Amino acid sequence: MRGLREQVAGITDTAVAAADGLLIAADTADSIDPEGLAALAAAGLGLARRTADATDRGALHRTVTYGSHGCAAFYAVGDTALMVVLGDEGMDVDRLHMATQPALSRIGSILTAQDSKAPEGV
C-alpha cells in the first residue's frame, strides 16, 4: 500500500478491510479512524455491489466518492475484501486506477494464501 504513494501523487491514506468491515491493515493519518473507515468503506462497497448486481452491470471493480477536499476510492478485492485509497484534490484518479491493479492482485493473493492456511472449522 505504501508503494502506491510513490507511484501516485496526492494519496493521503490507505486501508485494507474484510468485506464485513473489519480492518486488516492501514496506513492512515492520525486524524483518520482506520476502523471506522474500514466499516464505512465496506458498507459503501456493499451498496455499490448490490446496485451493480441489481442493474445487471456485472461484478463491481471500484467506486469513487468525490468531495470538496479530494476523493475516496474503494476497490473490491474479490468477494472477501476491499482496499480504500484517500487522496487530495490533486490526485490523478485515472493513474490511481492503473497503479492499484498490481496491489489488488497482491492483496488478493495474500488473503487467499491466508485462507488456505486456516484450520478447518475456523
Sequence spans of domains, the chain: 1-114
Residue 120 is predicted with a pLDDT of 55
**Helix (H), strand (E) counts: the chain:** 3, 5
Residue 121 is predicted with a pLDDT of 52
What's the angle, vertex CA 66, arms to CA 62 and CA 70, rounded to 5?
A: 110
Q: Among residues of the chain, what percentage have pLDDT more than 90? A: 74
Stretch 22-27: mean pLDDT: 95
pLDDT of 122 over the 50 cut: no
Q: What is the pTM of this model?
A: 0.86
The answer to whether the beta carbons of residues 73 and 96 sit under 8 Å apart is yes
Q: Report CA-CA distances (Å) from 9 to 48, 49, 72.
A: 26, 28, 14
- Name the fold adopted by 1-114: Beta-Lactamase (3.30.450)
Give the number of C-alpha atoms closer than 13 A to the C-alpha of residue 1, restricted to the C-beta side: 21
Tell me the pLDDT tens digit for each residue of 43-90: 999 999 999 999 999 999 999 999 999 999 999 998 889 999 999 999
Tell me the pLDDT tens digit for each residue of 87-101: 999 999 999 999 999
